[in-house]
Amino acid sequence: MLVLRLLNVVAPAYFLCISLVTFVLQIFLFIPSMFRDPSTTPLFSPALLHGALFLFLSANALGNYVLVIQSSPEDLGKGLNLGEGAEVVADWLGLCARVTQRHDHHCFFTGNCIGSRNMRNFIMFCLYTSLACLDSLVAGMAYISAALSMSFANPLAFLTLLPHSISQFFSGALLSSEMFVILMLYLWLGIGLACAGFCCHQMLLILRGQTRYQVRKGMVVRARPWRENLQEVFGKRWLLGLLIPVLNVGSDYRRQKEK
């Protein structure tokens, strides 16, 4: 339990640190390098469009991250009609001090349990984190391509970039900043793929009307149409939550809490 408690503190700090480094690299290194001549840059230049896209992805990722972790035991434990057969799992209560309705799993990167209240925000967090990492990966590859005068047209160029860069770095032919960016490329790739895979797997469970906890315990769930399962998590006004970070809009949880 001590190791889990430590991980519950280190993982969110690690995520926030990576987010800060990514923001600094994008704003102060990648985007400025896209401006060839700022005095003649058109209004809708690729650099400005890329900057706007990165800010949009980052705002949604960070906003949904905050909404995932803002739940408290009072919010979930008072005035909420759990209903007959609803599972309230306290397995992680000593770790994150949160009890959730329709418990799915405990996320160490948010330090919180994921359930019916924050499931949609958690999926949006994974989705936009994956897209932000992909955006940073592409921008970083463009920066390295220009800085080292190399091409990534051959897929093997990216696979051999790290060992080749390490040898160049220790021989003094590669700057520390360039080596740091190259290391971040592989980190963005790993985080992006992991978040995308986790998001896809979570969506499959939602379509089947299951949670990770139910699958792990071998529980049998009542079969329902997949549209109802999606609406239970994303609500009727799902498009609003797709564009901006908001709490579950029109979901069954909100209606239960208002009763």
Name the active-site residue from 96, 107, 113, 126: 107
Collect the ranges in the chain with pLDDT lower than 50: 72-90, 250, 252-259
Taking the CB of residue 231, how many other CB atoms lie within 10 A of it? 15
Burial class (CB in 10 A: 0-12, 13-18, 19+), 64: buried
Please, which residues have CB within 8 angstroms of residue 18's CB and are 6 or more apart in sequence? 187, 191
Predicted local confidence at residue 37, as pLDDT: 52
Predicted local confidence at residue 95, as pLDDT: 59
Predicted local confidence at residue 82, as pLDDT: 46
Please, which residues have CB within 8 angstroms of residue 256's CB and are 6 or more apart in sequence? 80, 81, 83
Domain-by-domain residue ranges, the chain?
A: 1-34+48-74+89-243
Please, which residues have CB within 8 angstroms of residue 192's CB and are 6 or more apart in sequence? 129, 130, 131, 133, 134, 137
Rounded CA-CA distance 144/85 in Å is 55
pLDDT per residue as tens digits for the range 161-171: 999 999 999 99
Residue 107 is a catalytic residue: yes
Predicted local confidence at residue 240, as pLDDT: 80
Q: Which of 168, 164, 158 is nearest to 188 (CA)?
A: 158
Q: Give the helix ranges, DSSP H, for the chain.
A: 2-25, 31-34, 46-69, 73-77, 93-96, 119-148, 155-159, 161-170, 176-207, 212-217, 226-234, 238-243, 252-258
